Structure 1
Amino acid sequence: MLFLEILVVLGAIYMGARIGGIGIGYAGGLGVLILCLFFGLEPGSIPIDVILIIMSVIAAIAAMQIAGGLDYMVKIAEDILRKNPKHITYLAPAVTYFMTLLAGTGHTAYSTLPVIAEVAKEQGIRPSRPLGIAVVASQIAITASPISAAVVFFSGIIEPLGVGYIELLAIVIPTTFAACMITAFVSNFLGKDLKDDPVYQDRMKKGLVKLRGETKVEIKKGAKLSVGIFILTIISVVTYATLISNKVGIIQDPSLPRNAAIMVFMLTCAAIITMACKVDSGKVITASTFQSGMSACICVLGVAWLGTTFVGAHIDEIKGFAGNLLNNYPWMLAITLFFASMLLYSQGATTKALMPAALALGVDPVTAIASFAAVSALFVLPTYPTLLAAVEMDDTGSTRIGNLVFNHPFMIPGVVAIALSVIFGFIFAGIII
């Protein structure tokens, strides 16, 4: 029966990957239905807090987008990239990393990808180099964002083990950023130079490669204000979380716990942006970030529920099998999270499904924190939205998916960046904790 249940889980994930987009959430729900009705399993815990945090953050980001805030941020990013075009391979991941760090979602990378591709082309740099690491950086930064659902949930389950929210951020931010920057150096040597790429040469002959120049975007009147309100809200979230933490303890027995506080702060942020920037609230639901975020909620609901249903039913067997293995080889947790996130397609869903089980097996906080970045292996299967967007936006053909599926320009940067993040994580966590 266990073998059949595993087949159901993998089959649902495979089906969801084939459908694409929100389909992974649909298929996850189907998997839960089969496991409960035909195999008698009890439904696992629904990742309600993770979903609500995503919804709240996306609500604020969508309001900021309608106010013109995202266009303003992209304009700043474009100015940075165009002022230092020769360093595009380093600046591109730095830009996508910090935009994701601030926004708590990697979907903000969409708007910067065409700029990265254009600047690289103008400099004769193979666009797949900056695009590959930029997409990876936008995914890894989720595990360092103060307002991402993955970080908030993870900090909640390791806090009882003596690791505070600020300590977690102090470890994951420098380690993941350093890993991405070192990987950017490695990316400079991946693939042939653009002028020597036969695909690029062929597309040039056919007139399929065009230089569009600098993007002309009209910045709305309330754009800067909306960004300022959003950044101030993030600062407020981090400050409040610090004040109510057990180690700082300035606010004792807070009536508003951290998870609820993030939701309330973000909804308040959306309300202030809507009023102060005169945003038409009816347009918020049409924003691309809103649609992507709500799709992510369904995906997290389906796949995380599927994961907790299976893991919860077999936690004793998992403890017996994996307990000694993880005690002897703690780095195996990172590998487990890597392959799980590759299938679950969500940092939040992977964290929710596996991290509590890992801690229940006796994994120490240092190992858990060091391995945390491994939940970002969403680049392995070449079907993730930001990955596909990067492929579509590079008309040179250098950013392409190979005939072996896994031989794409995101694989090596992704594996290297996660491996370095884990290694640095063990070092930093060992020092700080």
Structure 2
Amino acid sequence: MVLVELLIVLSAIFLGARLGSIGIGFAGGLGVLILTLGFGMKPGTIPIDVILIIMSVIAAIAAMQVAGGLDYLVSLAERVLRKNPKQVTFLAPIVTYVMTLFAGTGHTAFATLPVIAEVAKEQGIRPSRPLSIAVVASQIAITASPISAALVLMSGMLEKYNVSYLQILLICIPTTFIACMTGAFVAQFMGKDLAEDEIYQERLAKGLVSLHRGEARALKSGAKLSVLIFLFAIIAVVTYATAISDTVAWIDNPALPRNEAIMVFMLTAATLIALITKIDTSEVLNAATFKSGMSACICVLGVAWLGDTFVSNHLNDIKDISGVVLTEQPWMLAVVLFFASMLLYSQAATTAALIPSALMLGVSPEAAIASFAAVSALFVLPTYPTLLAAVEMDDTGSTRIGKAVFNHPFVIPGVVTITSSVALGFVVANLVL
């Protein structure tokens, strides 16, 4: 019976992957329905706090986008890239990493990918090199962003193990950033130079390659101010969470717990942006970041609920089968997370589905945090939105998907980056915790 129930869980995940996007959340709910009403299992716990935090953060980000804040960040990114164009393979991942770290969503990379491709072409650099690692950096930075759904989830799970929010950031930010630079070093040697690439030369001869800059976007009057307000909100979140943590304890018996504080600070930021920049709040509902964020809420709801339903009802059986392996070989958790995220297509969904089980099986907090970056293997299957956007925006043909599906330029830099981050994570986690 356990195998049948496991098959239902896997089938729901597979169905959700086939449906794509928000479909993984839909299918998760279907799986819970079958397990509970069909097999009499008790429903698992719904991560309500996490879903509410995602909604609050996305509300502030979407307000900033409507005010022109994301366009302003893109203009800053373009200045950085054009100031040192020959170093675009290293600067591109720094730009996408920082923007994701700041905004809590990897979709900010969409706006910078055309600039990265253009700068690379101007310097005769194969665009697939900076584009590949830039996409990977935008994905792995999710596991280091103070306001990302995945990290908020992780922090909540580890709170009971006396691991503070600040300690997780101190481990995840340096390890993922250094890993991205390692991936960039590898990426700069991948593929032929443009001058030697037959496909590029053929496309150039046919006039299919654009060699001029796009027009600069006009910034809205409140763009800079919206970014400043949002930045102060992030600083407030990190400072307050640190102040009330058990390790720092600057504030005893806080009136506002950490999760509620994140919601309050983010909604306050959205309010200030709306008031000061005078945006039309109805436009927030149509912002791309708002739509992707609400999709993430449904995904976390469905997948986390499905995973917890199965695990909580079979915890002892799972401990007997895999508990010893994970406690004796903790790096195996990273392998499991890597392959799971390929299918779940969401760092938050993968975290919600597997990390609680790993902790209950006896995996140490150090091993869990070190392996955390492995939930970012969204680049393996060439169907993730930012990956496809990079392919479409590179008119040189260098960023292409091969006939074997997996032979595309994102795989090697991505695997190197995640492997490096996990390896560094085990070292840094044992120093910090």
TM-score (norm 1): 0.96
Structure 2: how far apart are the matches of 1:304 and 1:278? 37
Deviates more, 1:287-296 or 1:58-67: 287-296
Structure 1: how far apart are the matches of 2:251 and 2:285? 36
Which residue type is aligned with residue 60 of structure 1?
A
Contact 2:300 2:352 in 1 (8 A): no
Q: Which runs of 5+ in 2 are unaligned?
A: none
Structure 1: how far apart are the matches of 2:39 and 2:343? 22
Structure 1: how far apart are the matches of 2:115 and 2:126? 14
User: What is residue 171 of structure 1 aligned with on the other side?
Assistant: 171
Deviates more, 1:72-81 or 1:387-396: 387-396
SS in structure 1 of the partner of residue 27 of structure 2: helix
Quote how far apart the aligned CAs of 1:331 are.
0.6
Which residue type is aligned with residue 390 of structure 2?
A
For 1:198-217, what aligned pairs fall within 5 Å after superposition?
198-217=198-217
For 1:236-251, what aligned pairs fall within 5 Å after superposition?
236-251=236-251
Structure 1: how far apart are the matches of 2:394 and 2:58? 27
Structure 1 stretches of at least 4 aligned residues deviating more than 6 Å after TM superposition:
none
Structure 1: how far apart are the matches of 2:163 and 2:180? 24
Structure 2: how far apart are the matches of 1:74 and 1:233? 20
Deviates more, 1:123-132 or 1:273-282: 123-132
Structure 2: how far apart are the matches of 1:249 and 1:33? 43
User: What is residue 91 of structure 1 aligned with on the other side?
Assistant: 91
For 1:5-24, what aligned pairs fall within 5 Å after superposition?
5-24=5-24
Distance of aligned partners of 1:42 and 1:407 in 2 relative to their CA distance in 1, 3 Å threshold: farther
Quote how far apart the aligned CAs of 1:336 are.
1.2
Structure 2: how far apart are the matches of 1:374 and 1:293? 21
Structure 2: how far apart are the matches of 1:97 and 1:423? 19
Structure 1: how far apart are the matches of 2:204 and 2:25? 40
Structure 2: how far apart are the matches of 1:300 and 1:378? 16
Q: Deviations over 1:128-187 (max 9, x none)?
A: 111111111111111111111221221222233232211111111111100001110100
SS in structure 2 of the partner of residue 112 of structure 1: helix
Which residue type is aligned with residue 376 of structure 1?
S
Q: Which runs of 5+ in 1 are unaligned?
A: none
Quote how far apart the aligned CAs of 1:95 are.
0.5
Q: Deviations over 1:374-409 (max 9, x none)?
A: 111111222211111111111112112221222221
Distance of aligned partners of 1:234 and 1:20 in 2 relative to their CA distance in 1, 3 Å threshold: same
User: What is residue 127 of structure 1 aligned with on the other side?
Assistant: 127
Structure 1: how far apart are the matches of 2:215 and 2:428? 40
Contact 1:20 1:383 in 2 (8 A): no
1:316 aligns with 2:330: no
Structure 2: how far apart are the matches of 1:371 and 1:36? 31
Quote how far apart the aligned CAs of 1:311 are.
2.0
Contact 1:101 1:145 in 2 (8 A): yes
Which residue type is aligned with residue 418 of structure 1?
I
Contact 1:17 1:383 in 2 (8 A): no
Distance of aligned partners of 1:187 and 1:109 in 2 relative to their CA distance in 1, 3 Å threshold: same
Structure 1: how far apart are the matches of 2:314 and 2:184? 41
User: What is residue 289 of structure 1 aligned with on the other side?
Assistant: 289
Distance of aligned partners of 1:336 and 1:245 in 2 relative to their CA distance in 1, 3 Å threshold: same
Structure 1: how far apart are the matches of 2:207 and 2:27? 42
User: What is residue 350 of structure 1 aligned with on the other side?
Assistant: 350
Which residue type is aligned with residue 139 of structure 1?
Q
User: What is residue 231 of structure 1 aligned with on the other side?
Assistant: 231
Which residue type is aligned with residue 326 of structure 1?
L
Which residue type is aligned with residue 85 of structure 1?
P
Quote how far apart the aligned CAs of 1:214 are.
4.4
User: What is residue 35 of structure 1 aligned with on the other side?
Assistant: 35
User: What is residue 182 of structure 1 aligned with on the other side?
Assistant: 182
Q: What is the identity percentage for the equivalent residue pairs of Structure 1 and Structure 2? A: 69
Structure 2: how far apart are the matches of 1:370 and 1:205? 48
Deviates more, 1:299-308 or 1:314-323: 299-308
Quote how far apart the aligned CAs of 1:6 are.
2.9
Which residue type is aligned with residue 109 of structure 2?
A
Structure 1: how far apart are the matches of 2:155 and 2:307? 20
User: What is residue 255 of structure 1 aligned with on the other side?
Assistant: 255
Contact 1:187 1:413 in 2 (8 A): yes
Structure 2: how far apart are the matches of 1:42 and 1:111? 44
Structure 2: how far apart are the matches of 1:431 and 1:414? 26
Which residue type is aligned with residue 272 of structure 2?
I
Which residue type is aligned with residue 429 of structure 1?
A
Q: Deviations over 1:341-388 (max 9, x none)?
A: 222221112212221221111111211111111111111222211111
1:137 aligns with 2:142: no
SS in structure 2 of the partner of residue 285 of structure 1: helix
User: What is residue 3 of structure 2 aligned with on the other side?
Assistant: 3
Quote how far apart the aligned CAs of 1:414 are.
1.2
TM-score (norm 2): 0.96
Structure 1: how far apart are the matches of 2:171 and 2:220? 37
User: What is residue 359 of structure 1 aligned with on the other side?
Assistant: 359
1:327 aligns with 2:362: no
How many residue pairs match? The answer is: 433
Which residue type is aligned with residue 287 of structure 2?
A
Contact 1:82 1:119 in 2 (8 A): yes
User: What is residue 118 of structure 2 aligned with on the other side?
Assistant: 118
